[in-house]
Amino acid sequence: MSLHFEHIDLHGRPHLRLTAADGARADVSLHGAQVTSWQPADGRERLYVSPLASHAPGKAIRGGIPVVFPQFAGRGTMIKHGFARLLDWQFRGIEYDVGSGPAAAFELRDDAATHAHWPSRFQARLHVVLDPACIEVGLEIRNVDDAPFAFTAALHTYLRVDDLMEASLHGLETARYLDSARAEAHMPATGDAVRFGTETDRIYPDAVAPLTLRDGSGVVQITARHFRDTVVWNPGPELAASTADLGAGEHRHFVCVESGTVIEPVTLAPGENWSGVQRLRALPGSA
């Protein structure tokens, strides 16, 4: 399938608008190479971006698909979730030899801004592919340093739901998890789908089984390759209300289902590459 692109300005910041032959569309901000909109051919928006999101340089955009690199959350000495989501990436054009189809390619290389956080020399690339009813986002990290480095990473996907109370996430029934809302308490498998309402903040180690998010009127399937862990996050009412770029009631509109390698860091020797891919497939509500 062909992939058309145009440079557009949204929120006063440069974005790429990608359009596939079937009419599917995605917007990607160069700020963080963050996908901020995905509408499959049915025209229904499947990602959530907060109405109060900041798009200012140096701030994280609340929503879409933030790229978390080189550190997940506070699991290290760096700023939370690393710097990749805070910096401007470059659009490198459409590439045909990565991903499952023509891919829009974005790049971030180390420079003085990244060295302020992390001394390592790296090349990060993000590719975005639109297939019928699917978006595929791949993150590739290359060590261009002369010493090894280690990192954690995630695609921190905010999936839009019509009504959080109707939402359920399937595929993690037999997986144990760390409860990040309770000091990473080790929790056994629940045997049930994940449902939402209060703060939910879980890391499922070694669990990337195909997942299905249902919200009553829509279904999204989430699959991942080369990521080891899944993170599930919804702030719940209190945290949403006290978060400046969310606001009261906003937690009802999304569930974050994050494909990541967040527990065991990846170590790359000089010249080595790593890549992780998350693929979302939108289905009608009855599927």
Ligand X SMILES: O=P(O)(O)OC[C@H]1O[C@H](O)[C@H](O)[C@@H](O)[C@@H]1O
Residues with a known catalytic role: 156, 258
Cβ 287 to ligand X, closest distance in Å? Answer: 27
Nearer to ligand X, 61 or 134 (CB): 61
The DSSP call for residue 63 is: B
CA pseudo-torsion sign 73, 77, 82, 87 = positive
Q: Out of 34, 39, 50, 180, which residue is the one contacting ligand X (CB under 6 A)?
A: 180
Q: What is the 3-state composition of the chain as percent helix, strand, coil, each rounded to the nearest 5?
A: 10, 50, 45
> Which residue is nearest to ligand X, using beta carbons?
233
Nearer to ligand X, 38 or 233 (CB): 233
196 scored as a contact of ligand X (CB under 6 A)? no
What CA–CA distance (Å, rounded) separates 176 from 12? 43
CB atoms within 10 A of CB 128: 24
What CA–CA distance (Å, rounded) separates 258 from 73? 12
Phi, psi angle pair for 30, to nearest 5°: -70, -20
Name the nearest CA neighbour of 36 among 70, 57, 58, 62: 62
Nearer to ligand X, 46 or 251 (CB): 251
Q: Out of 80, 115, 182, 195, which residue is the one contacting ligand X (CB under 6 A)?
A: 80
Cβ 182 to ligand X, closest distance in Å? Answer: 11
Using CB under 6 A as the criterion, what x/- string covers residues 24-53 for binding ligand X? Answer: ------------------------------
169 scored as a contact of ligand X (CB under 6 A)? no
Task: Note whether 255 and 159 are within 8 A (CB).
Answer: yes
Single-letter residue type at 10: L
Cβ 23 to ligand X, closest distance in Å? Answer: 31
Tokens 């760096």 label which residue? 78
Burial (CB count within 10 angstroms: exposed 0-12, middle 13-18, buried 19+), residue 96: exposed
Nearer to ligand X, 60 or 277 (CB): 60
SS3 assignment, position 164? helix
Cβ 33 to ligand X, closest distance in Å? Answer: 16
What CA–CA distance (Å, rounded) separates 194 from 172? 8
Q: Which of residues 245-284 bind ligand X (CB under 6 A)?
A: 256, 258
151 scored as a contact of ligand X (CB under 6 A)? no
SS3 assignment, position 100? coil
Residues 6+ apart with CB under 8 A from 80: 71, 73, 74
Cβ 236 to ligand X, closest distance in Å? Answer: 11
73 scored as a contact of ligand X (CB under 6 A)? yes
Q: Out of 31, 46, 81, 125, which residue is the one contacting ligand X (CB under 6 A)?
A: 81
DSSP letters for 73-84: TTSSSSSTT-SG
233 scored as a contact of ligand X (CB under 6 A)? yes
Segment near ligand X (CB under 6 A); pick from 15-23, 73-81, 205-213, 270-278: 73-81
Q: Which of residues 207-226 bind ligand X (CB under 6 A)?
A: none
Residues that bind ligand X (CB under 6 A): 60, 73, 80-81, 180, 201, 231, 233, 256, 258
